[in-house]
């Protein structure tokens, strides 16, 4: 059984020491969805949300979220992020897909940063549209791919 890396011998929380780990190029791609009323998604597409440009605001918020991940998740190391890309896809009449790709060259991965980017972008869409649609649902946040590091490459094989 593998030991927990974030707990010391006395059961106390600790941050993993990555001093001796080698630096590698690392990338993580996370994905999530927000379900909206079809009328809300149309208003987003047509720039008719009173608060402003929903997707551009959500994109900037997602980028900011990636950069703040170590401040939000206690055991995440602060990282020098070398690239962030937040993309949106209109999947159908009621679903907006959100993708966050995060890159670094470092000693630890960027999966949590990618998750944070997707989550903050989705929350921003909700915030900007809640006046017209309180039934929105944020769901299916998951890792699609990660590269680099000792564990190598992971690619999600199914849609679940």
Query: What pLDDT is recorded for position 6?
Result: 75
Using the structure block, give the residue that is written with the tokens 């998750």.
115
Residue 127 falls in the annotated catalytic set: yes
Predicted confidence at residue 29, as pLDDT, reads 98
Check residue 160 and give its pLDDT.
66
Task: Report pLDDT for 159.
Answer: 63
Q: Quote the pLDDT of residue 101.
A: 98
Q: Give the residue ranges of the annotated binding site for substrate.
A: 75-77, 112-113
- Count of other CB atoms within 10 angstroms of residue 125: 28
- The residues that bridge with 154 in the sheet, in sequence order, are 146
Instruction: Say what the pTM is.
Output: 0.92
List, for the chain, all residue ranges whose pLDDT scores fall below the cut of 70.
Answer: 1-2, 159-160
Cα(72)–Cα(123) distance, integer angstroms: 15
Domain annotation for the chain: domains and CATH numbers: 38-147 (3.30.70.640)
**Torsion over CA: 16, 17, 21, 25 (sign):** positive
Nearest one of 32, 31, 84 to 62, comparing CA atoms: 84
Laid out side by side, the sheet with 154-155 consists of 81-92, 95-106, 24-35, 137-147, 154-155
Catalytic one of 8, 38, 85, 127? 127
Sequence ranges of the binding site: 75-77, 112-113
Per-residue confidence (pLDDT) for residue 27, from 0 to 100: 98
The answer to whether the CB of 103 falls within 8 A of the CB of 26 is: yes
């Amino acid at each position: 059984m593998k030991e927990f890396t974030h707990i010391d011998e006395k059961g106390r929380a600790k941050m993993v020491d990555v001093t001796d780990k080698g630096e590698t190029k690392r990338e993580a791609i996370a994905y999530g969805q927000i379900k909206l009323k079809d009328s809300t998604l149309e208003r987003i597409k047509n720039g008719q949300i009173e608060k402003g440009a929903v997707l551009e605001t959500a994109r900037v918020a997602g980028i900011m979220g990636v950069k703040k991940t170590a401040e939000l998740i206690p055991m995440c190391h602060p990282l020098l992020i070398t690239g962030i890309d937040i993309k949106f896809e209109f999947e159908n009449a009621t679903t907006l897909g959100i993708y966050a790709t995060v890159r670094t060259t470092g000693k630890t991965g960027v999966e949590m940063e990618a998750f944070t980017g997707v989550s903050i972008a989705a929350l921003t869409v909700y915030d900007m549209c809640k006046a017209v649609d309180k039934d929105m649902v944020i769901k299916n946040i998951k890792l699609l791919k990660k590269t680099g590091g000792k564990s190598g490459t992971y690619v999600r094989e199914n849609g679940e």
